[in-house]
Amino acid sequence: MAPRVFRFAPSPNGYLHLGHALSALLNGDMARAANGRLLLRIEDIDRTRCRPEYETAIYEDLAWLGLAWEAPVRRQSEHFAAYRDALERLTAMGLVYPSFESRGEIARLVAAREQTAAWPRDPDGVPLYPGTAKQISHDERRRRMAAEPYALRLDMAKALARAGDLHWSETGRGPSCETGQVPARAEQWGDVVLGRKDTPTSYHLAVVIDDALQGVTDVVRGEDLFWATGVHRLLQQLLDLPVPTYRHHRLIRDAEGRKLAKSTKATGLRELRAQGVTPAEIRKLVGLKLKPLRQRE
C-alpha cells in the first residue's frame, strides 16, 4: 500500500507560535506512527504579508522542534500556473464571475442591508457577498475587467446544484464536536473569492490543488479551518480531485481564551527557545505526550 502523506502548511507572514507547534508536531507524530511521509508547504500567495525572513525562521523553528520533512518544499508562489489552470476550468463550467466592488463598498452595501434585517455571515463572521455582479451583462463584464480591479467569485448556487450533497470524513472534531461523515455545507460561505485580477488564486483554491498535486492523504490542521473544509470538499468535487481524510485539532488559546494570532513572548517559539525552553517542554506545553516511537525503523 502507498504510504500515507501528511503536510504542515504554514504561511510565512509571522513567526511560529505554540499553535503552529501543535499542528506541526501532530502531523509529524501521525506520519511517524503510520510510517508515512511528511511534507512542508509554504503558503505564500499573499505577497504583501509574506516575508523571506519568516520563511527562514519556519525552517529553523521546525528543525529545532525535531521535525524532518521531505525536500523540495512546495512554495505556492511558484505554482500560480497550476491555480490559474484550475480557475479557468471552473470558469469554463460557468461557475465563476467577476465582482468589482471594493472592500469599502461591500461594507457599505452590508450596512445598508442591515438597516432592515441581519445580513448572513460566514463561519468566520465575515458578511456574505451582498453585491449584484452576477447580473452584469457579458459585454459590460469584459469592458470592466479590462479597466478595473476585480475578484473572481464562485457562483455558489450553481456550484452546489452541480456537485450535489457532499460530506467529508473527519477523524478529529469540529467546534460542536462534529465527527465522522460531516456534511460540507459550503453554502455557509456564499460566493467565495477564488482569485483576483492580479492573483490567480485564493487560499481555498490553492490548498485543494496542492493537496491533490502532492498526493496528500491526511490533512491535519487547526479547528479554525473546520468549516472551510466544506468549500474545499466542493472544489475537489468540481475539479474531480481526490479527497483526503481530515483531522481538525483543538486550538491553543491565550490567557483570555482567544486563539493565538501572532507570536508573543509567552507563545512564540523563538522567544520560548531564547528563554531556555526545550523542544520536549514545548511538546508538554501543547499537550502532546513524549515523542512516540516509529512503528518500523
Give whichever of 91 and 245 is closer to ligand GLU, judged by the CB atom.
245
Give whichever of 43 and 191 is closer to ligand GLU, judged by the CB atom.
43
Residue 241 lies near ligand GLU (rule: CB under 6 A)? no
Instruction: Using the structure block, give the residue that is written with the C-alpha cell 500560480.
Output: 80
List 145, 225, 277, 285, residue binding ligand GLU (CB under 6 A): 225
Residue 251 lies near ligand GLU (rule: CB under 6 A)? no
Give whichever of 90 and 207 is closer to ligand GLU, judged by the CB atom.
207
Window 200 to 219, contacts with ligand GLU (CB under 6 A)? 207
Window 173 to 192, contacts with ligand GLU (CB under 6 A)? none
Site string for ligand GLU, 113-142 (x = CB under 6 A): ------------------------------
Residue 151 lies near ligand GLU (rule: CB under 6 A)? no
Number of residues that bind ligand GLU (CB under 6 A): 7
Residue 221 lies near ligand GLU (rule: CB under 6 A)? yes
Site string for ligand GLU, 3-42 (x = CB under 6 A): ------xxx-------------------------------
Please report, as ranges, the residues that interact with ligand GLU according to CB under 6 A.
Answer: 9-11, 43, 207, 221, 225
